[in-house]
């Protein structure tokens, strides 16, 4: 889309959000879940198949290179400096033959090309080198949209006393959204980090963040989240 088209789309979405906000507020939506005492960063599918060009799953490269990756770098710096857990989530499949009698793709390959993310090709599902995991961080392999569905994520978070998850990654309309929905359903304070979430489709990020903020979590900026990560340990110690 051209810059003019994007500007018109932004204008139309803004009008729709204003009208929807009024309805939501009248009906008791858009409440705040807030930040808790023990955060973790959950980064969803910021692997090469999504962050680099040339793949069916490739997301908006301008936003990826100029907002999402720099935002993630700031969040990682704050987590690493303060000892907050980081979980890098990626997706890949071991049996990618669509005609195989048994596969770990479920029926998702009948809708989208998950068969291209082959577990045998580590470069595809490896976390982007610009935000690569360091020692002490966990990389979780999922098979479904949600990072919680059929994985050990909730158990790992609870075992480490985590009550707040800062969620980043792609895509806003699918894996990020489903992770946030399952996160709040499982009892975690869910924070969507505004500038560190992307998609392939124009308008998908804005709409999904608006709707998430109304129903499933709080949308907060990178600046706000970094400030929280840098100060939450001190606030917790003062409270104790």
For residue 211, give the CATH number of its domain: 3.40.50.850
CA–CA separation, 118 vs 115, rounded Å? 6
Length of the chain: 240
Q: Look up 175 and say whether it is catalytic.
A: yes
Same domain, 122 and 153: yes
Please tell me whether residues 24 and 134 are part of one structural domain: no
Q: Which residue has the tokens 């996160």?
A: 183
Does the pLDDT value for residue 164 go beyond 60? yes
**Summary mean pLDDT of the chain:** 93
pLDDT of residue 3: 58
Residues 51 and 18 in one domain: no
pLDDT attached to residue 239: 55
What pLDDT sits at residue 186? Answer: 98
Question: Which of 174-178, 218-222, 233-237 shows the lowest mean pLDDT across its residues?
Answer: 233-237
Lowest mean pLDDT among 43-47, 129-133, 184-188, 233-237: 233-237
Q: Within this chain, do residues 18 and 134 fall inside the same structural domain, yes or no?
A: no
Q: Say yes or no: 11 and 99 in one domain.
A: no
18-68 pLDDT, tens digit per residue, is 777 787 888 888 899 999 999 999 999 999 999 999 999 999 999 999 999
- Cα-Cα-Cα-Cα torsion 9, 68, 145, 127, nearest 10 degrees, comes to 150
**191 and 211: one domain?**
yes
Please count the structural domains in the chain: 2
Same domain, 129 and 152: yes
6 against 127, higher pLDDT: 127
- pLDDT tens-digit series, residues 93-121: 999 999 999 999 999 999 999 999 999 99
Domain around 97: 37-239
pTM, entire model: 0.91
Q: What is the pLDDT of residue 153?
A: 98
Residue bearing tokens 């907050």:
84
pLDDT at 2 over 70: no
- Marked catalytic residue, from 59, 175, 181, 225: 175
Q: Indicate if 108 and 20 belong to the same structural domain.
A: no
Q: Are residues 188 and 217 in the same domain?
A: yes
Per-residue tokens: 240: 């104790």
């Amino acid at each position: 889309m051209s810059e003019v088209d994007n500007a018109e789309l932004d204008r139309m979405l803004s009008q729709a959000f204003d009208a929807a906000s009024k309805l939501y507020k009248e009906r008791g939506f858009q409440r705040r879940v807030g930040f808790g005492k023990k955060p973790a960063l959950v980064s969803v599918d910021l692997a090469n198949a999504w962050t680099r060009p040339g793949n069916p799953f490739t997301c908006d490269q301008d936003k990826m290179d100029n907002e999402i990756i720099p935002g993630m770098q700031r969040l990682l710096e704050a987590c690493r400096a303060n000892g907050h857990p980081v979980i890098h989530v990626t997706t890949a499949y071991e049996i990618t033959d669509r005609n195989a009698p048994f596969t770990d793709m479920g029926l998702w390959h009948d809708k989208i090309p998950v068969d291209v993310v082959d577990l045998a090709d580590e470069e595809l599902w490896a976390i982007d080198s610009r935000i690569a995991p360091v020692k002490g961080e966990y990389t979780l392999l999922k098979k479904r949209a949600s990072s919680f569905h059929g994985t050990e994520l909730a158990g790992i978070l609870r075992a480490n006393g985590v009550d707040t998850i800062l969620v980043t990654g792609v895509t806003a309309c699918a894996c990020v959204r489903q992770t946030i929905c399952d996160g709040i359903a499982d009892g975690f304070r869910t924070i969507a980090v505004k500038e560190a979430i992307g998609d392939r489709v124009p308008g998908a990020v804005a709409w999904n963040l608006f709707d998430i903020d109304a129903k499933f979590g709080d949308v907060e900026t990178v600046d706000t989240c970094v400030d929280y990560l840098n100060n939450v340990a001190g606030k917790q110690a003062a409270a104790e």
